Amino acid sequence: MTTANAFATAQATTPLAPMRIRRRDPGPTDIEMDILFCGVCHSDIHQARNEWRNTVYPCVPGHEIVGRVTRVGSAVTAFRSGDLSAVGCMVDSCHTCTSCRAGLEQYCLSFPTFTYNSADRHLGGQTYGGYSSSIVVDQAFVLRVPAGLDLAATAPLLCAGITTYSPLRHWHVGPAHKVGIVGLGGLGHMGVKFARAFGAQVVLFTTSPRKIADGLRLGAHEVVVSSDAAAMEKHRASFDFILDAVSADHDINAFLSLLKLDGTLTLVGAPEHPMPVASFNLILPRRHLAGSAIGGIAETQEMLDFCALHNIVSDIELIPIQRINEAWERMLKQDVRYRFVIDMASLRP
């Protein structure tokens, strides 16, 4: 048993503050890593503030982790001390259900063990995440960081990246497709980059005219302000695929009407309230409304390799851990372009 430095919240209404946490010694199949960078996901705020009504305290958030291996177990063959490594939203699963055997651990029928606020199968209590100096994870859930990627800007790929990459791959987005991305935030800006890299015609939808220039810079062929009725009407029934990355309440029917026959709109954002869906927006002309959650380990590694090949990383603002509470407040005001990443240097011994 070892300990690590971390930032945690003791209850829903308190800010994050320094805390010492337990980490297990590496078992035969485990990898220990020093955490170099950790991305800041909006899920961290939801969980720490108990907005999903399932948080166990103390809570140490963070599931976009890039680090360097320090120790490996006796049965580990894919990593050695000094390797660059990464951990995303999961650190374990049942390994035996149909989803896990298909490489879709995120859909584990027994529920995956998430990087934080899940039952810790080794130490008891809850798992603690990446707002910490180190972590120990089974090798099956550790990823290799390809050479050449900016390490800090790679961290958000472990959640924001794979969350947008996976549905674009699953629905076979490619050069023949017209693709819409709804929302230009931490998820949406990655969706634009990936859709463009896959060769699609990319249209970004935003509520903010201020984001038009940025959307074009990131790779969109066109940016539509979704409150402009004439601009929306121009695209009616023309999209093969739309990726909706908005977590705020919004009118999903306005975007369903833009799909062509057999087009699909996939949700990766998670609005707080249920969204009404007009049945005829699905019935005519045979449209599909779907959802998608992160990706399996093999697909996440594929995504990292794809990013290295195409020089894709997240647009980030790097902060020290001591500014995390300020960063959270700025996130709630949408004052970030487009992902905060924590430099964990001040927490490491």
Looking at every residue in the chain, the average pLDDT score rounds to 96
pLDDT tens, position by position, 107-148: 999 999 999 999 999 999 999 999 999 999 999 999 999 999
- The amino acid present at 147, given as its one-letter code, is A
Report pLDDT for 57.
Answer: 98
Architecture of domain 161-291: 3-Layer(aba) Sandwich (3.40)
The pLDDT score that the predictor gives to residue 328 is 98
Say whether pLDDT at 318 is over 80: yes
Amino acid at 226: S
pLDDT exceeds 90 at position 343: yes
Q: For residue 274, report the phi and psi dihedrals to the nearest 5 degrees.
A: -60, 145
Give the start-to-end residue ranges of the domains of the chain. Answer: 2-159+313-346, 161-291
Could you give the percent of the chain with pLDDT greater than 70? Answer: 100
pLDDT at 28 over 80: yes
What was the pLDDT predicted at 130?
A: 98
Cα dist from 105 to 114, 118, 147, 310, whole Å: 11, 15, 26, 26
pLDDT of residue 273: 83
State which fold the 2-159+313-346 domain adopts.
Answer: Quinone Oxidoreductase; Chain A, domain 1 (3.90.180)
Report d(CA 109, CA 97) in Å as an integer: 6
Alpha-carbon distance 304 to 154, whole Å? 8
pLDDT reported for residue 270: 84
Q: What is the mean pLDDT of residues 77-82?
A: 96
Q: Predicted confidence band at 276 (pLDDT cuts at 50, 70, 90)?
A: very high
Of 175, 338, 169, give the one whose Cα is nearest residue 266: 169
With a cut of 90, say whether residue 232 has pLDDT above it.
yes
Q: Which of 12-26, 27-41, 261-275, 284-298 has the lowest mean pLDDT?
A: 261-275
The percent of residues in the chain predicted with pLDDT above 90, rounded, is: 95
Q: Residue 272 — very low, low, confident or very high, per pLDDT cuts 50/70/90?
A: confident
- Decide if 2-159+313-346 and 161-291 have a common fold: no
Nearest to 170 by CA among 43, 306, 296, 258: 296
What kind and span of H or E run contains 205?
strand 201-206
Sign of the C-alpha dihedral computed for residues 89, 38, 319 and 117 taken in this order: positive
